[in-house]
Chains A and B, each alone.
Chain A
Amino acid sequence: MYWRNGLCVVSAYVILESPMTTSPLASSGHRPADVAKSTLHRQPNLPRNRWNAVFTVLAGVFAAIVVLPLLLVLAYVVIKGGSSMSLKLLTDLPPAPGMTGGGIGNAILGTLIVSLIAALIAIPIGVGGGIYLAEYSKSGPFASFVRFGTNVLAGVPSIICGVFVYGLIVATRIFFDQSYSAMAGGIALAVLMLPTIIKTTDEGLKLVPQELRWGAIGVGASKFVTITRITLPTAMKPIATGIVLSIARAAGETAPLIFTALFSPFWPEGLFNPIASMSVLIYNFAIMPYDVQIALAWATSFVLVMMILIMNIFARYLGSLNRI
């Protein structure tokens, strides 16, 4: 920290001093001649101290700007959507166009179902892949390829995942001749979640000290026992945190669901039928010419944001848990 600070101050000093090479200050070496060598007190007017203050304030301002959008979004959503909160809203079906009242119960349930399907698919595959990368792969070309592929997949826009699953599952009607379905939506979200889970598992396992593995192997544990009983439980914290964060991210996705789960104004009718979800409900209702629907869209935004916020807080809580 000290070193960085010093470097910053030195460069600032150079910038300030360079145009003043003819000034009497510069001729006396590194410091102004009138600053007596006798005092060790801090001189607030020294260029390095001034620049220090400037950069400290600047860094603070940028930090404030970073959190500003979050606060604004939260405040806006709370003001617009929080006011219409009620139990009915959470449990009722949305009204038909032109009608009043109603709620978003089916969309909340739908989001939970689709996220659950996605988690059930992505967690085993992602954790398994991460275990392979961290524990089994021997830094060969295949492991590098998987790692590279994971990074690319993490950067693939979510709408591409939607189109991919649309082409793979919806258009081919592969599940019981159904086209749009909760299952297809879950698979699309699972594809989005995979890279996060693989990476956090891989990195979480790499953080486990090598000595711990040796210890287990030294008392005669096989590789399987070492991983399942020692390594994986030790890395549970980062892995669980990564999983929760990836679910929170996937739960708010819209684009992949439009192509796959579509929407339904009714209660979920099964895993292989179209299903409502909060994000698609917002997308659909926010552009309708009815005030009731627009208000519902805001209320849904509020519920969705709160859900994701709670999941993030839960992830933080998981991260702070102390294992024995």
Chain B
Amino acid sequence: MNTSMNPSSRPQSTNHNPETCLSLQNVSISYGNGKNVAVNNVFMEIPKGKVTAFIGPSGCGKSTVLRALNRMNDLIEGCGLKGRVLFDGQDLYDKRVDPVEVRRRIGMVFQKPNPFPKSIYENIAFGARINGYQGDMDELVESSLRKAALWDEAKDKLKESGFSLSGGQQQRLCIARTIAVEPEVILMDEPCSALDPISTLKIEETMHELKKTFTIVIVTHNMQQATRVSDLTGFFNVTDLVDYEGKVGCLEEFGETERIFNSPAQQATQDYVSGRFG
């Protein structure tokens, strides 16, 4: 499968490739009822079972694109999307699609750890319970915490508040909470930006473990992190549009992480990954 395609020359096929998890076809997202275009003409094929990283300067729309993948942008007033986002061949923005169902299949971990004001146990049980989980809840809590590499630290205080954990542990709790719902995809929006290097390392180790089961898409400002965790990298950049005032985000280049960092096709990518950029 060819993952290193040039955005402008990509064919607009709607034929579903079974290896593809999420497919973005000419996606443009705008805020303020179409007044401010955040990101323009994104084409992307995110494969199953891999870690895909989005990198790029601030304001290039990488988080916006990530949030479009599980319809989190619905929560922002006046946010609109053009183009198509296909998940397993289904258009996520079809009128008949229930966004709640989408988010059960495509979970999300946020920038700031945001555990619920409940016990550690309840934090994980919450999602599973509202999704109608019928099995052994203790088992699910344990396996989720194990997958998020938090079990050893949290097993003795499952009844304590989620806030009693450190920042890095809280973020792993949030990952465990997302895993417990058993989604197919996990979206991570700069999951380590609020954490120290040791916690970051733990979360990266967790991600390596997780990619055996889940497709992961991660937004990161940390290029080393992208090289460490991801199989594919999309570089977003800001450009000027012809008939539009202000900067607009776009997907500059998308391909295997190895190639993006070592021999990128675009000069802008080269400049960014080598640190010669804004």
Residues of A within 8 A of B (CB): 138-139, 209, 211-222, 225, 229-230, 233-234, 323-324
Query: A219 CA to B108 CA in the complex, in Å?
Result: 7
Given A225-B130, A229-B126, A324-B161: A218 and B108 within 8 A (CB)?
Answer: yes
Chain A residues contacting B181 (CB-CB under 8 Å) are 219-220
A-B contact pairs, 30 of them (CB 8 A): A138-B77, A211-B112, A212-B114, A213-B75, A214-B75, A214-B108, A215-B174, A217-B100, A217-B103, A218-B70, A218-B72, A218-B108, A218-B110, A219-B103, A219-B107, A219-B126, A219-B127, A219-B130, A219-B131, A219-B177, A220-B100, A220-B107, A220-B130, A220-B183, A221-B100, A221-B130, A222-B130, A225-B130, A324-B118, A324-B161
B275 within 8 A of partner (CB):
no
Given A219-B107, A219-B126, A220-B127: A211 and B100 within 8 A (CB)?
Answer: no
B128-142 vs A, CB cutoff 8 Å, 1 = contact: the mask equals: 001100000000000
Given contacts A211-B112, A218-B107, 9 further A-B contacts (CB under 8 A): A215-B110, A215-B114, A215-B115, A217-B75, A219-B126, A220-B183, A221-B100, A221-B126, A324-B161
Closest residue to A222 on the B side, CB-wise? B100
Query: A324 CA to B126 CA in the complex, in Å?
Result: 15
Query: A225 CA to B127 CA in the complex, in Å?
Result: 10
Residues of B within 8 A of A (CB): 70, 72, 75, 77, 100-101, 103-104, 107-110, 112, 114-119, 126-127, 130-131, 160-161, 174, 177-178, 180-181, 183
CB distance from A277 to the nearest CB of B (A): 39
Query: A79 CA to B110 CA in the complex, in Å?
Result: 60
CB distance from B220 to the nearest CB of A (A): 18
Given A214-B108, A220-B100: A209 and B114 within 8 A (CB)?
Answer: yes
Query: A221 CA to B132 CA in the complex, in Å?
Result: 11
CB distance from B258 to the nearest CB of A (A): 31
Query: A209 CA to B107 CA in the complex, in Å?
Result: 19
Chain B residues contacting A234 (CB-CB under 8 Å) are 117
Closest residue to A236 on the B side, CB-wise? B117
CB distance from B142 to the nearest CB of A (A): 18
Contact between chains at A219 and B114 (CB < 8 Å): no
Contact between chains at B100 and A214 (CB < 8 Å): no
Given A218-B178, A219-B178, A323-B117: A211 and B126 within 8 A (CB)?
Answer: no
Closest residue to A225 on the B side, CB-wise? B130
Chain A residues contacting B178 (CB-CB under 8 Å) are 218-219
Chain A residues contacting B116 (CB-CB under 8 Å) are 212, 215-216, 230
Chain A residues contacting B112 (CB-CB under 8 Å) are 211
Chain B residues contacting A216 (CB-CB under 8 Å) are 116, 126
CB distance from A42 to the nearest CB of B (A): 42
CB distance from B6 to the nearest CB of A (A): 33
Given A220-B100, A323-B117, A324-B117: A229 and B130 within 8 A (CB)?
Answer: yes
Query: A296 CA to B180 CA in the complex, in Å?
Result: 64
Closest residue to B128 on the A side, CB-wise? A219
Closest residue to A211 on the B side, CB-wise? B114
Interface centre among A213, A222, A233 (most CB of B within 10 A): A222
Contact between chains at A211 and B110 (CB < 8 Å): yes
CB distance from A205 to the nearest CB of B (A): 14
Query: A218 CA to B75 CA in the complex, in Å?
Result: 11
Query: A237 CA to B127 CA in the complex, in Å?
Result: 24
CB distance from B241 to the nearest CB of A (A): 29
Pairs A-B, 9 closest by C-beta atoms: A220-B104, A219-B127, A218-B108, A211-B114, A215-B114, A324-B161, A220-B103, A222-B100, A219-B181
**Which of A214, A220, A323 touches B110 (beta carbons < 8 Å)?**
A214
Chain B residues contacting A211 (CB-CB under 8 Å) are 110, 112, 114
Contact between chains at A217 and B72 (CB < 8 Å): yes
Chain A residues contacting B107 (CB-CB under 8 Å) are 218-220
Chain A residues contacting B110 (CB-CB under 8 Å) are 211, 214-215, 218
Query: A176 CA to B127 CA in the complex, in Å?
Result: 50
Chain B residues contacting A138 (CB-CB under 8 Å) are 77
